[in-house]
Amino acid sequence: MELAILVVAAGRGSRAGPGAPKQYRLLAGKPLLAHTLSALLKAAPEAKLLPVIHSEDLASYRQSLAFLDKADLGRLLPPAYGGETRQDSVRLGLESLARQGPPEIVLIHDGARPFASPDLIARARAAARQHGAAVPGLALTDTVKQVDAAARVMATAPREAFRAVQTPQAFAFDLILAAHRKAEAAAQNGLTDDAAIAEWAGHDVYVFEGERDNVKITGAEDLARAEAELLYGLADVRTGQGFDVHAFGPGDHLWLGGVKIACDRGLVGHSDADVLSHAITDAILGAIGDGDIGSHFPPSDPQWRGAASAIFLAAALDKLRARGGVLAHIDAMLICEKPKIGPYREAIRESLAKTAGISIERLSIKATTAEGLGFIGREEGMAAMAIATVRLPLAPRAD
């Protein structure tokens, strides 16, 4: 292996406010870490990636992988678990790489920097080859003041002598692994980046040109700005509709949106007859103009007998993601005399939001009766309608 990229994503991200750790927050419908991993997989087509995650985040990490191109998944090494500090996490990641067959060059990148470009990765790789230790940096545009504890200016620094440093930081693998091991053995903690560890170990570290767009998502404001940036590129907004009907039959439960609901009857169908999930699946397929649920999962195919309808929904979402798109909103309506939907509404929203990988406020479930009219009124069956809104890339993707 020539090049490995270690993606540090083990932090708790408390500065981004309450909720999931920031690397798993949804940005334009996709977890932040998935944005970072996709950017790196595309920017460095020969590299292997080793994510370093928190041991409590394995489920969130696995969910993030659903947003990556399936063809790229083979280049992701099994994740390593991080430690107490960023420094520990990087060392543990490097040790994991060493066990799996060390690369010649390693780039160490923040999981919360989703905008690294192919040019930046190419410069990082070349700088690691040339110098053994190099970091991307930007000249400062603001004047730099040194202040005391009372914020009184003590000195004006010569800003041309300073660089604001980013990631990926780029190293000869053996050099940075040895430096991290040495720092660990010397209990040298609190070094804030990997360049500082290389410096401490006595290596010259060089700066290559960074990128203004290669921002680190730290606080809630950064999340909002990055989302606006990403949505700007997903400006092709489309909608699709779905409709489905299933007949009632004997039984003691039925499935709606992946939630099992006790009832004095069931729904008849080839799969689990989840009329709501079927309508939503068709709405998503409609929004991307890719057939319907029957064309992708023919009822004549025995493999779908009794299938959980989350499979169909996940497949429609895969098709959307394969086109670089995201699900923006679902509005669905159940039409039935029975069962009463109200008590289950929130559970259904939670279940569908989880399957669809969107936040719950982007998923609306409504219900109405048919006022006793027609087949629904006669309680022969129930219907569901859905509208899906998706966002697709405005221009054809370069890849």
Instruction: Check if the beta carbon of residue 38 is closer than 8 Å to that of residue 76.
Output: no
Contact pattern from residue 103 through residue 122 relative to Mg ion, giving x for each residue in contact according to CB under 5 A and a dash for the rest:
--------------------
Amino acid at 111: G
Binding residue (CB under 5 A) for Mg ion from 278, 345, 349, 391: 278
272 near Mg ion, judged by CB under 5 A = no
- Candidates 166, 158, 156; CA nearest to 134 is 166
Counting contacts by CB under 5 A, is residue 274 touching Mg ion?
Answer: no
Residue 216 tokens read as 């680190």
Site string for Mg ion, 201-240 (x = CB under 5 A): ----------------------------------------
Confirm or reject binding of residue 244 to Mg ion (CB under 5 A).
Answer: yes
Least Cβ distance, residue 336 to Mg ion (angstroms):
14
Site string for Mg ion, 127-166 (x = CB under 5 A): ----------------------------------------
Using rule CB under 5 A, residue 304 touches Mg ion: no
Beta-carbon contacts of 303 under 8 Å, excluding residues fewer than 6 positions away, are none
Query: Closer CB to Mg ion, residue 206 or residue 243?
Result: 243
Q: How far is the CB of 337 from Mg ion (least distance, A)?
A: 19
For Mg ion, give the closer residue by CB, 127 or 313. Answer: 313
Q: Can you read off the two tokens belonging to residue 249?
A: 């039959």
Q: Which stretch binds Mg ion (CB under 5 A): 34-42, 272-280, 312-320, 370-378?
A: 272-280
- Alpha-carbon distance of 177 to 93, in angstroms, equals 10
Q: Residues in the chain, how many?
A: 399
Minimum CB–partner distance for residue 269 and Mg ion (Å): 6
* Minimum distance from residue 349 beta carbon to Mg ion (Å): 20
Helix locations, the chain, DSSP H:
32-43, 58-65, 86-99, 118-131, 173-185, 194-200, 220-232, 275-287, 293-296, 310-322, 345-356, 374-377
Choice between 170 and 387, CB closer to Mg ion:
387
For tokens 């699709």, name the residue.
240
Query: Which of the stretches 46-54, 102-110, 203-211, 242-250 binds Mg ion when contact is defined by CB under 5 A?
Result: 242-250
The conformation of residue 233, written as its DSSP 8-state character, comes to T
User: In sequence order, what are the beta bridge partners of 147?
Assistant: 153
Of 3-11, 106-114, 277-285, 359-367, which segment contacts Mg ion by CB under 5 A?
277-285
Beta carbon of residue 254, minimum distance to Mg ion (angstroms, whole number): 12
57 binds Mg ion (CB under 5 A): no
Which is closer to Mg ion, CB of 256 or CB of 390?
256
How far is CA 298 from its chain centroid? Answer: 31
User: Which residue number, 299 or 372, has a Cβ lying nearer to Mg ion?
Assistant: 299
Q: How many residues bind Mg ion (CB under 5 A)?
A: 2
Closer residue to Mg ion in complex, CB, 125/246: 246
Distance of alpha carbon 157 from alpha carbon 145, whole angstroms: 6
Beta bridge partners of 331: 364, 387
CB of 383 to Mg ion, least distance (A): 10
Q: Which stretch binds Mg ion (CB under 5 A): 113-121, 207-215, 241-249, 324-332?
A: 241-249
Helix (H) or strand (E) holding 288: none
Round to whole Å and give the CA distance between 355 and 368.
24
DSSP assignment of 295-351 equals HHS-TT-GGGTT--THHHHHHHHHHHHHTT-EEEEEEEEEE-SSS--GGGHHHHHHH
Which residue's beta carbon is nearest to the bound Mg ion? Answer: 278
Residues contributing to the site for Mg ion (CB under 5 A): 244, 278
